[in-house]
Amino acid sequence: MKLFKIEENDANQRLDKFLKKLFPSATRSLIYKFNRKDKIKIKFEWSEWKYRKRDNEYKIQEGDEIKIFLSDDDFDELTSPQASSVGEEVKGEKFHKENIAYEDEDLFIVNKNSGINVHPWDFKTKEISLIAQVQDYLWDTLNSLTFKPSLIHRIDRDTSGILMIAKKKDILVKLVNDFKSHTKVKKTYYAIVLGKLSRTSWSITKKLLRIENARNEAKVQVSEKGQTAITHYKLLAEHTLQTKEWIVILSEVEVKIETWRMHQIRVHMASIGNPIIWDKSYWDKKMNSFMMRQYGLSRQALHAWKIEFFHYAKNKNMEITASLKKDLAQFITNIQK
């Protein structure tokens, strides 16, 4: 027999859904059978502190106590994760503490490295994802039977910078809604683009169309058939590179987006003739090897720099900044020599 006390992160969900998360290897019919056979009993205050059978639809509450009458062997078997060929991850690099941009009891905000998937199903790869790294890193501090730290939003694999992860379910729900509605959240990016900007600041308002089943990474294009997209940029600095073959101008820019379309910054900047350098999809690939050979940059120069949001647990607006990654900072140093 196992006894569990329900904490905040496991509360306010149906009993059958809680049991399915607790027993990932069990079928739903097996879970229903457990309940029919009186193997699941719950105690809560207004039931005079007696353990009783509850319907599968019963919504468990914080403070409830659940007794599960299974053998240790059965329990261990049912709580082991199901094997899956899709999204199955292999062991990889562990999460490093220096990549924490901010942490409290509700939120874990990461300064993500470029070249790592944020979610195990991204790109159908078996390499370990960032969320898996974070869950492993926080394992000893988790206070939940079924809830794991969860992504509030995503950024591209080759983009570095801020990524927000919720430690608590109620915070997750509230901030996901804010991201979906674009309320109370503002995102600022840092980018290095090719060429001289025609204006030191401007708003790009070209509609973007996502191409379904695209055969390459260029999944988005400017099109009047697309959705409204608004990008604001401001020039931060300009650099002129003199080589034996040509003169190259690079511009550092701050970018803010009103709409959050897929690849929005990358496609919008490319559409005005200033693509993000080392973007594998939306700029001249011949320049990639030059930038890597001459200046040591081998990834997309786009960084999720700042985020403003409303912190519900603290009841206040917050702004978090993620410093530039070493490779981008070193690249700027190299081109200034």
Give the tens place of pLDDT for each residue, 8-50.
Answer: 888 888 999 889 888 888 888 998 998 898 899 888 765 566 8
What is the Cα–Cα distance from 59 to 334, expressed in whole angstroms?
Answer: 59
Token output for 219: 């999944």
Q: Which residues are 165's β-sheet partners?
A: 108, 151
Q: Express each pLDDT in 285-326 by its tens digit.
A: 777 777 888 888 889 999 999 999 999 999 999 999 999 999
Q: Using the predicted structure, report yes or no on whether residue 241 has a pLDDT greater than 70.
A: yes
Task: Residue 280: name the closest of 289, 61, 271, 272 by CA.
Answer: 289
**pLDDT tops 80 at residue 131:** yes
Within the chain, strands assigned E span 2-5, 13-14, 40-43, 59-60, 65-68, 100-103, 107-112, 150-151, 160-166, 186-194, 201-204, 208-210, 220-222, 231-242, 247-257, 302-311, 316-321
List of domains in the chain: 2-79 (3.10.290.10), 97-335 (3.30.2350.10)
Q: How confident is the model at residue 221 (pLDDT cuts 50, 70, 90)?
A: very high
Question: How far is Cα 261 from Cα 257, in angstroms, rounded to an integer?
Answer: 9
Cα end-to-end span (Å), the chain: 69
Angstrom distance (rounded) from CA 61 to CA 4: 12
* pLDDT for the residue numbered 217: 67
190: exposed, middle or buried (Cβ count in 10 Å: 0-12, 13-18, 19+):
buried
Residue 123 has pLDDT above 80, yes or no: no
The residue among 296 and 331 whose pLDDT is bigger is: 331
Q: What is the pLDDT of residues 160-211, one digit of tens each?
A: 999 999 999 999 999 999 999 988 999 999 999 999 999 999 999 999 999 8
Residue % of the chain over a pLDDT of 70: 92
3-state helix, strand, coil in the chain (%, to 5): 25, 30, 45
pLDDT score, position 184: 92
What value does the mean pLDDT take over residues 122-142? Answer: 81
Q: What pLDDT does 304 receive?
A: 98
A 10 A CB-CB count for 96 gives 10
Task: With residue 175 as reference, give the H or E element that holds it.
Answer: helix 169-181
Q: What is the pLDDT of residue 76?
A: 83
Question: What confidence tier does 85 reach under pLDDT thresholds 50, 70, 90?
Answer: very low
Higher per-residue pLDDT: 90 or 296: 296
pLDDT at 189: 98
